[in-house]
Amino acid sequence: MPFTVHDIPDQTGTLAVITGATGGLGYETALALAGAQATVVLTGRNPEKGADALVRIRAIHPHADISYETLDLSSLASVEDFARRFAAAHDHLDLLVNNAGVMMPPTRQTTADGFELQFETNYLGHFALTARLVPLLSAAARGRVVTLSSIMARRGKIHFDDLQLVAGYTPSAAYGQSKLACLMFARELQVRSDTAGLGISSFAAHPGISSTNLIENGMGQGSMAARLKPLTGMFFQSPAAGALPTLYAATSPDAVPGGYYGPDGFMEMRGTPTAANVPPQARIAADLARLWTVSEGLAGVGFPSLAKAA
């Protein structure tokens, strides 16, 4: 039977953090988890949008246990600040959904940290966030991390000699690299969790082709994302449908740790959640380990080797 929001198990007692949760896929993920009785922390860059998202969710689920915290994944300082505040308030974290992203700005842009915008926002910021939250995820009974990739990962390549694409920026190359990196990270996180005894289950998911606010986040009307906008009604599925693979990975007892989930339709563009195709470039163990090591250096974080208490 196709997985729907009605198949989400009761999430009472589950504490979840969702990045980029004020619109699009992140909002739909937060809405569904709140409806399943989870305690949900929505994060985003804009407090006004955060407040609006809380109002909209409470209008549908009046008793939802939800809150908003500011978190900018394009800033390592913001990631560190959020993680510190969260750890001061909580002793565990059951679910982290690494969802926030930007899509294909027409010109190469850099963050305050000096990284290419899509590389840091979509990937490196989430790498750093997960590293800082590992102790809380490991402290949970069944900590889960779901990291959002994309069907664009199929065409992605990790440019180890030029990760910031200084010499060869194109919007699609940068986006594909960032989303391939997310998939590689999710897979390697499972390997390292198993090796270190962290007790964390890591999953990757992609939404197919969904009409989300990534299009608006494409930074301008001249962007590739903006040019795709007229096609959304014809070919793209809704954000609610696009969020289902994430929700399956986040909640289903049938989701396999280390797995990758996406829509079951033609070329995984739309449909109901199923196991997704892992592209060959995300299967090379040496490259997964290399990207991990490089990312620790770039982000200035290390993943603690905290064996889960018996």
- Which residue numbers are catalytic? 175
pLDDT digit string, tens, across residues 72-94: 999 999 999 999 999 999 999 99
All structural domains of the chain with their residue ranges: 11-299
pLDDT digit string, tens, across residues 92-106: 999 999 999 999 999
Can you give the chain as a three-state secondary structure string? CCCCHHHCCCCCCCEEEECCCCCHHHHHHHHHHHHCCCEEEEEECCHHHHHHHHHHHHHHCCCCEEEEEECCCCCHHHHHHHHHHHHHHCCCCCEEEECCCCCCCCCCCECCCCCEHHHHHHHHHHHHHHHHHHHHHHHCCCCEEEEECCHHHHHCCCCCCCCCCCCCCCHHHHHHHHHHHHHHHHHHHHHHHHHHCCCCEEEEECCCCECCCCCHHHCCCCCHHHHHHHHHHHHCECHHHHCHHHHHHHHCCCCCCCCEEEECCHHHCCCCEEECCCCHHHCCHHHHHHHHHHHHHHHCCCCCCCCCCC
Identity at 243, one-letter amino acid code? A
Contact 65, 36 (CB under 8 A): no
pLDDT digit string, tens, across residues 259-309: 999 999 888 899 999 999 999 999 999 999 999 999 999 999 998 765 443
Instruction: Summarize the confidence of residues 192-218 as an average pLDDT.
Output: 82
| pTM of the full structure | 0.93
Selected from 1.10.10.10, 3.40.50.720, 3.90.79.10, 3.30.565.10, the CATH number assigned to the domain covering 11-299 reads 3.40.50.720
Query: To 10 degrees, what angle do helices 285-299 and 171-196 make?
Result: 100
The pLDDT score that the predictor gives to residue 63 is 97
